Amino acid sequence: MLFFVVETVIKTIVVFGVFLLFCAYLTLAERKILGHIQVRIGPNRVGPWGLLQPIADGLKALFKEEVVPERSDKVLFIIAPMISVSMALCLMAVIPFGDHITLFGKKINLVIANSEIGLLYLFAFASLADYGVVIGGWSSYNKYGLLGGLRAAAQMISYEIALGLSCVGVIMISGSLNLVDIVKAQAGGHWNVIYQPIAFIFYIICALAEINRTPFDMPEAESELACGYNIEYSSMKFSLFFVGEYAHLMIVAAVATTLFLGGWHGPYLPSVVWFLIKTFLIVFFFMWQRGTFPRLRYDRIMMLGWKVLLPLTLANIFVTGLVMVLAR
């Protein structure tokens, strides 16, 4: 029992620290990647290759004045960024980031919580993270913030369904909601992306909408909403929203790796390295497409969600079930 507690605490601290570090450096990576895509250089003044830029940004945000609008709903206004960031960080608990290792004669699974309902937990908390955006936009007594929050709510509802449905095929194949079992079922190159390629594409599209990134960044559309839901936020609250956003981005990529790309499986390299390589490849794709695609119009996004993705994911489930029954 004691060993279990110590093991979990150590794993939590390590994962939490490394994860936050990744989130901080994702901001730099995004700026660098977008810079090079737009034939610029990106930040390169703070430290070599701009490596200290995230630290400088964080310090700067800490020292900024904290403004709470007078007519805002103050409790919700303060809670919103906390919801956004904490829910995104909670998600990391069920992601298996490596095979088990043996330390001091004990077998240690490289996952914080080996939950039987891991996937369900993921979807539940991923939806809760969106409440941060909705509440933040709503409580700040600003018309742009309100519009951003409204859009976030609408988008959340319409893409959550397709996101969940795109994962059902994987659940059907592996027969489990436990993420460790799902990864283990993909051993030996039987990655789910081979059996569910369309579901993988749908998952990526829905995930982009879920984490409010371009081309689906409706809640914070700069050109029409002037930053949207986080318009009234300043100082650390603003950067909490940012950390939450990047944490969510990484989680979504990690889930895609777990469900479709065989998780930690891969030859020669240690399992954790494989997991990180796959995750960051997907993260890179997210940033790459951000530098490529323009934002969709609002009604188009809704149309894509309800009229295209929902029927197609349902059809995908149907075909998967049919093939499974016929192949049996």
Residues contributing to the site for another protein (CB under 8 A): 33, 36-41, 288-289, 291-293
Residue 307: CB minimum distance to another protein, A: 14
CB-nearer residue toward another protein: 39 or 325? 39
Q: Is 263 left (phi over 0), alpha (psi -120 to 50) or beta?
A: left
Q: How far apart are CA 36 and CA 288, in angstroms?
A: 10
CB-nearer residue toward another protein: 37 or 157? 37
Residue 4: CB minimum distance to another protein, A: 45
Residue 286: CB minimum distance to another protein, A: 12
Q: What is the residue type of 6? A: V
CB-nearer residue toward another protein: 198 or 272? 198
Residue 123: CB minimum distance to another protein, A: 27
Exposure of 300 in the CB half-sphere (CA atoms within 13 A): 8
Q: How far apart are CA 239 and CA 230, in angstroms?
A: 10
CB-nearer residue toward another protein: 33 or 147? 33
Q: How far apart are CA 227 and CA 128, in angstroms?
A: 21
Residue 39: CB minimum distance to another protein, A: 5
CB-nearer residue toward another protein: 45 or 71? 45
The dihedral of CA 168, 170, 176, 179: what is its sign? Answer: negative
Exposure of 92 in the CB half-sphere (CA atoms within 13 A): 26
Q: Give the pairing type, strands 106-108 and 101-103.
A: antiparallel
